[in-house]
């Protein structure tokens, strides 16, 4: 090739790159203001300007009124379009948000440096989430390992318990996590309701197990000597060899620093620590896979995550401390005291009848868990979801932005409507989307939620539910079960016995394709622990799917059918992977019954219950229409595709994707044949709910939808999927204009009303005098309504640091509560400095707020 050609090509390529750089960029975000020209004109003629000003003011006012009117009339999402993109780096996402390239980052960031950066940026804001926690997992086997013949000090409960004193949780929270964590002492999370319910017990235990390295050393020395170990030149020896502690330290996050910190503490006590740094996949076969008696590890830096607020953490003790927790060798090595074991099980099985009984049981189990300490809890990690300051959106207290079910209903540019917002997420579209067993990737789930409506909306701040497509619900619970209710949309009643009607559907005959009733299977009758009756509003057909098809009862019933049919061996769409789920479901399921069709009323019977009536409401509002489900069912039955990855792998066919890839062509083929045949799935049953005309209309709608969008993802949420760009990692969601609800429906759910608490009272109290303290509770400067506060508890720690008094404050008015310590109370306090600690448990959020005040008692 000649020199000229070389030159030409090189110049051409560079020119192309430069041209692209100049011409292919994104459009400018803002235009230059034209204000200066207006000012000049105003200076020329003030009268005209004044008149013009008046006119413009009037026009502006009219415009504002129009806008306000329009805003109040707006339905569905606040924004017209959401663009979701991938941005793996949190630091880069923050920079891009500052540059207004993206508006929100759907990831719970836990990097202290990034946190500090965000806090220092005026353009950004953030919301916190609390679902991640870290601990030390101990190997309790031994005290002599069978595999190595070496000593395992952590087989001794007292040594494990002493580790609570050894670790400084404040240091870990502040120094290792840079303030993005709070100390955690036990198996319950301080942002969830049980912590607030038990705050007096928990605070006392926290005080008891506060950092005290001398006490830790004393106990450990005593127990090591009892084991026959000897301290030689500051090093513990057992049978003339140094006592070695193998510490499996996870390397991906702050647990590496925690591992190093604890290792150093143990080395200072005389242990020889082997720091075995491992990633999750490297550590898992050791701490989960090996027999603890082999002695392959002594301690592991464990970490756990909860992506939704758990309103009942009573089962945590059975899970974390007993061999019933998991079927792994480590769990099988747990041998809690008989008392602890029995109480944990009782708590887990909800073997109590009142909340007071539960509280007492809980208190005992908390104390016993600290004595057992096969885990030493360290911190509740604080994550944060960052977004631009001009954006408001609902975020979940446990799951952050990506965990909030309400995000598509609340996302907006503050005070504005319409426009496009860009949300970035660390990773997206790794797996296919399908309505049965498609992706469960957390960030894809976030997007899917925008496309499907729900019957009941989870409250992002309390974990309870609010009605979305439910008019009201009645919950009947068997007498003696500790269930309570908070919201008035649920009516809670108790009954001595709940009989399941004999015409309720209990199972599915996959051959006859018909439901099997309670009467067929239980001629002598069947009872349940809970009955939930849900009243759906108005006519379902007033609601529509994204392809324009009206909702119908068939959409509801198909969901009920597939729950069973996919797991029935006789079914054409049998999937072995669905069997365990069905088995589990059937272990507590006692029947469905469609009590009324218009308006729709569905009864549901179950033996499973939760402590909150709102969470016992079973709703069947569909998120997928029967006709798109039917296309997938046809492809599955033909063996062309499979809903689940398990079946896809087993049959060596593609895992079904409704949005892209090789599945689309196959689904298209089935759509064509279904449309040609006027297919009605499960016609023996659904034939009663779907007319031929309706089927034809649905197939026509889906064909038109597919023609237009090129995918089969049809939902009923506030956004529809315009397109998923799978290689480019971009998803485009467009607002559904005819969504039935006002955009303002979920206003008030963008900021958690975490109470702000201050205490005022005397600094000095004479022993034997009555003392009154005022507790001011507000949120953002506004008084917190008394009706929104569940309880205000107080604890008084005396001069010796002992818990001397507990009680509840009295409400005076909104935002003001009062604590009165009687003369008798103060007389019982030691002279010296006391601490009054107040815990406020609001109803609007699950997080209690603490505040304290010191006062001195004198004789």
Partner 1 sequence: MTDAALPLQPDAASAERPRTQSTLTRVVHYTGLRMIAMFITIMIGVYLTILIANMGGHVDKIRRGYIREQVAISVGFNEEFKNMTSEERRAHIDKLVALQEKRMGLDQPFLLRSFSFLWGAMTLDLGWADNMSSDSGSRMVRNIILERLPATLLLFSTSFMLNFLVGIFVALYLSRNYGSRLDRAIVGLAPTSAAPSWFYGLFFILLFAALLGWFPFGGLVSAPPPDSIVNYALSVLNHMVLPVIAIFFSSIFLGIYGQRTFFLIFSHEDYVDMARAKGLSDRVVERRYIMRPTMPTIVTSLALSIIGLWFGSIVLETIFNWPGLGRLLYLASNIFETSVIVGSTVVYAYLLGITVFFLDIVYALIDPRVKVGGNQGGQA
Site for partner 1 in 638-677 (CB under 8 A): 645-646, 648-650, 652, 654-655, 657, 659-663
User: Shortest distance, CB of residue 5 to partner 1, whole angstroms?
Assistant: 9
Q: Of 122-130, 137-145, 269-277, 314-322, which part binds partner 1 (CB under 8 A)?
A: 314-322
Residues between 266 and 285 with contacts to partner 1, criterion CB under 8 A: 280-282, 284-285
Cα separation, 837 vs 311, in Å, equals 24
User: Which part of the chain contacts partner 1 (CB under 8 A), choosing from 141-149, 372-380, 607-615, 795-803?
Assistant: 607-615
- Which CB atom, from 489 or from 585, has the smaller least distance to partner 1? 585
Q: Residue 110 or 657: which CB sits closer to partner 1?
A: 657
The residue range among 72-80, 520-528, 720-728, 745-753 that interacts with partner 1, by the rule CB under 8 A, is 720-728
Measured N-to-C along each axis, helices 35-44 and 46-73 cross at an angle, to the nearest 10 degrees, of: 140
- Which of 70, 288, 511, 833 touches partner 1 by CB under 8 A? 288
Q: How far is the CB of 771 from partner 1 (least distance, A)?
A: 44
Rounded distance, CA 512 to CA 679, Å? 17
* Residue whose CB is less far from partner 1, 334 or 689: 334
Task: Please state the closest distance from residue 124 (CB atom) to partner 1, in A.
Answer: 15
Residue 376 CB partners (closer than 8 Å, separation 6+): 135, 136, 138, 160, 163, 164, 167
- Between 214 and 233, how does the x/- string for binding to partner 1 read (CB under 8 A)? --------------------
Nearest residue (CB) to partner 1, 114 versus 777: 114
Residues 543-602 that bind partner 1 (CB under 8 A): 576-577, 579-580, 583-585, 587-588
Q: Which of residues 10-69 bind partner 1 (CB under 8 A)?
A: 10, 13-14, 16-17, 19-21, 23-26
Helix (H, G, I), strand (E, B) or coil at 392: strand
Distance in angstroms (rounded) separating the CA atoms of residues 473 and 532: 7
Strands (DSSP E) contained in 148-271 are: 181-183, 230-232, 235-238, 241-242, 244-250
Q: Pick out residues in 73-102 that bind partner 1 (CB under 8 A).
A: 83, 85-89, 92, 95-96, 99, 101
Distance CA 309, CA 378 (A): 20
Pick between residue 81 and residue 520 the one whose CB is nearest to partner 1: 81
CB-CB contact of 150 with 238 (8 Å): yes
Closer residue to partner 1, CB minimum distance, 59 or 288: 288
One symbol per residue from 423 to 462: x for binding partner 1 (CB under 8 A), - otherwise; what is it? ------xxxxx-----------------------------
- CB under 8 A, 24+ apart: contacts of 255-261: 255/134, 255/301, 255/303, 256/301, 257/176, 258/134, 258/172, 258/176, 258/301, 258/378, 259/301, 261/167, 261/171, 261/172, 261/176
Report the greatest alpha carbon distance in the chain: 105
Least Å distance between CB 656 and partner 1? Answer: 8
Tell me the site size for partner 1, rule CB under 8 A.
93
Q: With respect to partner 1, which residue has the nearer C-beta, 3 or 824?
A: 3
State the minimum distance, in angstroms, from the CB of residue 148 to partner 1.
20
Residue 624 or residue 834: which is nearer to partner 1 going by CB? 624
Which CB atom, from 607 or from 672, has the smaller least distance to partner 1?
607
Q: How far apart are CB 162 and partner 1 at their closest, in Å?
A: 28
Closest distance between partner 1 and the C-beta of residue 337, in Å? Answer: 18
In the three-class reduction of DSSP (H, G, I as helix; E, B as strand; rest coil), residue 708 is classed as helix
497 contacts partner 1 (rule: CB under 8 A): no
Q: Out of 315, 400, 467, 815, which residue is the one contacting partner 1 (CB under 8 A)?
A: 315
Residues 725-764 that bind partner 1 (CB under 8 A): 725-730, 732
Contact 107, 402 (CB under 8 A): yes
Residues 100-159, interacting with partner 1 (CB under 8 A): 101
Alpha carbon 601 to its chain's center: 29
Show Cβ contacts of residue 610 under 8 Å, excluding neighbours closer than 6 positions: 311, 312, 483, 616
Burial of 613-646, coded b for 16+ CB within 10 Å and e otherwise, reads bbbbbbbbbbbbbbbbbbbbbbbbeeebbbbbbe
Q: What phi and psi, each to the nearest 5 degrees, are found at residue 614?
A: -60, -35
Our CB check for partner 1 shows the closer of 8 and 494 to be: 8
Q: What share of the chain is helix, strand, coil (3-state, %, to 5)?
A: 35, 25, 35
Nearer to partner 1, 319 or 850 (CB): 319
Helix (H, G, I), strand (E, B) or coil at 88: coil
Residue with smaller CB distance to partner 1, 332 or 767: 332
CB-based contact 550:539 (threshold 8 Å)? no
Q: Do residues 785 and 777 touch, judged by C-beta distance below 8 A?
A: no
**Would you say the C-alpha torsion 607, 608, 614, 617 has a positive or negative sign?**
negative
The answer to whether the CB of 502 falls within 8 A of the CB of 515 is no
Q: Is it true that the peptide bond before 759 is cis, omega within 30 degrees of 0?
A: no
Q: Which of residues 80, 208, 607, 747 is near partner 1 by CB under 8 A?
A: 607
Near partner 1 by CB under 8 A: residue from 228, 289, 419, 480: 289
Stretch 321-350: interaction string toward partner 1, x if CB under 8 A: -x-xxxxx----------------x--xx-
> What token pair was written down for 122?
């005026």
Kind and range of the H or E run holding 491: strand 490-495
Verify binding: residue 418, partner 1, rule CB under 8 A.
no
Q: How far is the CB of 282 from partner 1 (least distance, A)?
A: 7
Closest approach of Cβ 728 to partner 1, in Å? 5
Smallest separation (angstroms) from partner 1 to the CB of 580: 5
- Report the residue number, 612 or 750, with the smaller CB distance to partner 1: 612
Containing H/E element for 280? helix 280-287
Q: How far apart are CA 613 and CA 465, in angstroms?
A: 10
Q: How far is the CB of 237 from partner 1 (least distance, A)?
A: 33
Least separation in angstroms between residue 172's CB and partner 1 is: 23
Residue (22 or 43) nearer to partner 1, CB: 22
Task: Reduce the DSSP state of residue 305 to 3 states and report it.
Answer: strand
| 319 interacts with partner 1 by CB under 8 A | yes
CA-CA distance, 372 to 336, in Å (whole number)?
Answer: 7
Nearer to partner 1, 133 or 209 (CB): 133
């Amino acid at each position: 090739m000649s020199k000229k050609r070389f030159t030409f090509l090189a110049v051409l390529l560079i020119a192309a790159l430069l041209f692209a750089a100049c011409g292919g960029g994104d459009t400018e975000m803002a235009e230059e203001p034209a204000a200066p020209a207006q000012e000049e004109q105003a200076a020329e003629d003030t009268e005209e300007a004044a008149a013009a000003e008046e006119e413009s003011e009037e026009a502006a006012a009219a415009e504002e009124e129009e806008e306000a009117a329009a805003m109040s009339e707006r339905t569905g999402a606040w924004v017209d379009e959401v663009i979701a993109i991938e941005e793996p780096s949190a630091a880069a996402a923050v920079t891009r948000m500052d540059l207004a390239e993206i508006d929100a980052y759907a990831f719970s960031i836990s990097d202290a440096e990034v946190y500090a950066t965000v806090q220092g940026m005026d353009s950004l804001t953030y919301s916190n989430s609390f679902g991640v926690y870290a601990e030390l997992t101990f190997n309790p086997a031994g005290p002599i390992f069978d595999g190595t013949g070496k000593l395992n000090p952590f087989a001794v409960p007292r040594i494990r318990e002493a580790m609570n004193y050894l670790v400084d949780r404040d240091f870990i929270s502040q120094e290792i996590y840079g303030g993005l964590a709070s100390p955690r002492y036990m198996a319950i999370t301080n942002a969830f309701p049980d912590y607030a319910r038990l705050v007096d017990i928990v605070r006392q235990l926290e005080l008891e197990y506060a950092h005290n390295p001398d006490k830790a050393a004393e106990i450990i020395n005593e127990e090591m000597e009892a084991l026959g170990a000897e301290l030689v030149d500051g090093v513990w020896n057992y049978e003339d060899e140094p006592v070695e502690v193998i510490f499996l330290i996870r390397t991906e996050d702050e647990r590496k620093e925690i591992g190093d910190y604890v290792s150093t503490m143990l080395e200072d006590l005389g242990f020889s620590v082997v720091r075995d740094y491992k990633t999750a996949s490297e550590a898992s076969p050791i701490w989960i896979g090996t027999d603890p008696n082999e002695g392959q590890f002594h301690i592991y830096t464990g970490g756990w995550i909860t992506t939704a607020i758990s309103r009942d953490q009573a089962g945590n003790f059975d899970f974390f401390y007993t061999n019933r927790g998991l079927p792994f060798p480590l769990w099988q090595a747990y041998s809690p005291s008989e008392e602890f074991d029995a109480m944990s099980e009782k708590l887990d099985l909800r073997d109590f009848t009142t909340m007071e009984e539960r509280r007492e049981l809980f208190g005992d189990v908390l104390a016993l868990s600290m004595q057992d300490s096969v885990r030493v809890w360290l911190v509740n990690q604080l994550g944060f979801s960052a977004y631009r300051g001009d954006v408001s959106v609902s975020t979940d207290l446990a799951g952050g932005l990506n965990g909030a079910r309400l995000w598509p209903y609340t996302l907006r540019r503050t005070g504005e409507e319409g426009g496009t917002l860009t949300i970035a997420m660390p990773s997206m579209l790794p797996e296919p989307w399908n309505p049965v067993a498609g992706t469960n990737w957390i960030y894809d789930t976030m997007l899917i939620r925008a496309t499907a409506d729900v019957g009941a909306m989870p409250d992002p701040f309390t974990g309870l539910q609010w009605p979305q497509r439910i008019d009201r619900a009645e919950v009947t619970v068997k007498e003696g079960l500790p269930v309570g209710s908070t919201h008035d949309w649920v009516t809670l009643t108790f009954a001595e016995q709940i009989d399941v009607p004999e015409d309720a559907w209990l199972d599915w005959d996959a051959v006859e394709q018909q439901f099997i009733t309670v009467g067929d299977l239980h001629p002598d009758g069947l009872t349940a622990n809970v009955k939930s009756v849900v009243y759906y509003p108005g006519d379902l057909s007033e609601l529509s799917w994204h392809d324009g098809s009206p909702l119908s009862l068939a959409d509801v019933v198909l969901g009920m059918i597939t729950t069973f049919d996919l797991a029935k061996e006789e079914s054409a769409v049998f999937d072995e992977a669905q069997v365990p789920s069905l088995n589990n479901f059937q272990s507590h399921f006692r029947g469905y019954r469609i009590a009324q069709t218009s308006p729709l009323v569905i009864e549901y019977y179950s033996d499973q219950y939760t402590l909150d009536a709102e969470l016992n409401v079973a709703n069947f509002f569909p998120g997928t229409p029967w006709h798109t489900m039917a296309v997938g069912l046809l492809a599955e039955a033909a063996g062309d595709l499979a809903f689940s990855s398990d079946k896809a792998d087993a049959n060596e066919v593609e895992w079904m994707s409704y949005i892209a890839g090789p599945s689309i062509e196959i689904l298209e083929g089935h759509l064509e044949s279904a449309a040609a045949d006027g297919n009605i799935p499960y016609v023996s049953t659904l034939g009663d709910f779907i007319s031929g005309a309706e089927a034809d209309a649905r197939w026509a709608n889906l064909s038109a939808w597919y023609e237009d969008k090129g995918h089969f993802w049809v939902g009923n949420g506030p956004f529809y999927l315009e397109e998923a760009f799978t290689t480019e990692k971009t998803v485009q969601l467009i607002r559904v204009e005819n969504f039935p609800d006002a955009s303002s429906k979920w206003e008030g759910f963008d900021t958690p009303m975490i109470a702000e608490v201050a205490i005022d009272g005397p600094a000095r109290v004479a022993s034997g005098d009555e003392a009154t303290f005022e507790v001011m509770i507000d949120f953002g400067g506004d008084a917190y309504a008394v009706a929104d506060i569940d309880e205000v508890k107080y604890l008084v720690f005396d001069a010796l640091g002992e818990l001397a008094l507990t009680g509840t404050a009295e409400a005076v008015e909104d935002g003001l509560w009062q604590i009165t310590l009687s003369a008798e109370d103060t007389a019982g306090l030691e002279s010296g400095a006391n601490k009054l600690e107040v815990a406020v448990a609001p109803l609007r959020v699950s997080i209690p707020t603490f505040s304290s005040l010191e006062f001195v008692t004198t004789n």
